[in-house]
Chains A and B, each alone.
Chain A
Amino acid sequence: MTRLLHAFPGGLRLPSGKAESAASPVVPAGLPARLTLPLQQHVGSPSVPVVEPGARVRKGALLARPGSYVGMSLRAPTSGTVAEIAPRPIVHPDGIEVPAIVLEPDGADAWGEREPPMAWPDEDPLRVAERIEAAGIVGLGGAGFPTHVKLREGAASAVHTLIINGLECEPYITCDDRLLRERAAEVLEGARILAHAAQARSCVLAVKDDMIAAMAALDAAGAGGDVEIVAVPALYPAGGEKQLIRVLTGAEVPSGGLPIEVGVVMHNVATAAAVYRAVRLGEPLVSRLVTVAGAVARPGNYEVLLGTPVAYLIERAGGALARDARVVVGGPMMGVPVKELAAPVTKTANCVLVLARPAERPPLMPCIRCGACADCCPVRLQPQALFALARAGDLDGVQDLHLFDCIECGCCDYVCPSGIPLVAELHRAKAEIDVMDRLQARAHDARQRYEAHLARTAGASGGKAPEPADDTEARRAYVAAAVERVRRRRGTPGGAQR
Chain B
Amino acid sequence: MLAGALVLGALAAIAGVLAARAPAPPAAARGLVERIDALLPQLQCRACGYDGCRPYAQALAAGRARINRCPPGGATTVRSLADLLGTEPLPLEDRPGPPPQALARIDEFVCIGCAKCLPACPVDAIVGARGQLHVVVERWCTGCGLCLPPCPVDCIRLQPRPGGAA
Q: Which residues of A contact B (CB under 8 A)?
A: 393, 396, 435-436, 438-440, 442-444, 446-447, 449-450, 452-453, 456-457, 469-471
Contact = CB atoms under 8 A, between A and B. Distances in A.
B42 A446 contact: yes
Contacts of A439: 41, 165
B40 interface: yes
Interface of B: 26-27, 30, 34, 37-38, 40-44, 52-54, 76, 79, 83, 119, 121-125, 140, 142, 165-166
Contacts of B53: 447
A234 B40 CA distance: 51
A446 B54 contact: no
A396 B142 CA distance: 26
B26 A449 contact: no
16 contacts: A435-B166, A438-B165, A438-B166, A443-B40, A446-B44, A446-B123, A447-B42, A447-B53, A449-B123, A449-B124, A450-B44, A452-B124, A453-B121, A456-B124, A471-B27, A471-B30
A436 B44 CA distance: 19
B30 A470 contact: yes
A443 B30 contact: no
A251 to B, nearest CB: 37
A324 B70 CA distance: 49
Contact of B26 (A456, A469, A471): A471
A453 B34 contact: no
A435 B101 CA distance: 12
Contacts of A450: 42, 44, 52, 122-123
A456 B140 CA distance: 17
B27 A453 contact: no
A443 B123 CA distance: 11
A440 B165 contact: no
Return the 10 tightest CB-CB contacts between A and B, nearest first.
A446-B42, A449-B123, A443-B42, A447-B42, A435-B165, A446-B142, A453-B124, A450-B122, A471-B27, A443-B41
A446 B140 CA distance: 7
Given A443-B42, A447-B37, A456-B124, 8 more contacts: A393-B79, A435-B165, A438-B165, A444-B38, A447-B42, A449-B125, A453-B123, A471-B27
A469 B26 CA distance: 12
Contacts of A470: 30, 34
Interface of chain A, main secondary structure: helix
Contacts of A393: 79
Contacts of A471: 26-27, 30
Contacts of A447: 37, 42, 53
A439 to B, nearest CB: 6
Contacts of A453: 121-124
A44 to B, nearest CB: 16
A436 B18 CA distance: 43
Contacts of B83: 396
Nearest to A438: B165
B31 to A, nearest CB: 9
Nearest to A435: B165
A446 B43 contact: yes
Contacts of A449: 123-125, 140
Contacts of A440: 38
A51 B44 CA distance: 43
Contact of A469 (B34, B44, B123, B165): B34
B153 to A, nearest CB: 24
A453 B122 CA distance: 6
A443 B53 CA distance: 11
Contacts of A446: 41-44, 123, 140, 142
Nearest to A453: B124
A261 B29 CA distance: 41
A469 B57 CA distance: 12
A436 B164 CA distance: 12
Contacts of A469: 30, 34, 54
Nearest to B125: A449
Contacts of B42: 443-444, 446-447, 450
A393 B83 CA distance: 12
Nearest to A467: B54
A457 B43 CA distance: 18
B73 to A, nearest CB: 9
Nearest to B122: A450
**Most chain B CB inside 10 Å of its own CB: which residue of A444, A450, A470:** A450
Contacts of A396: 83
A439 B40 CA distance: 10
A396 B166 CA distance: 20
Contacts of A443: 38, 40-42
A362 B34 CA distance: 49
A458 to B, nearest CB: 13
Contacts of B123: 446, 449-450, 453
Nearest to A393: B79
A172 to B, nearest CB: 33
A436 B26 CA distance: 30
A64 to B, nearest CB: 21
A104 B125 CA distance: 42
A202 to B, nearest CB: 43
B71 to A, nearest CB: 15
A442 B166 CA distance: 10
A439 B41 CA distance: 8
A202 B140 CA distance: 50
A443 B42 CA distance: 5
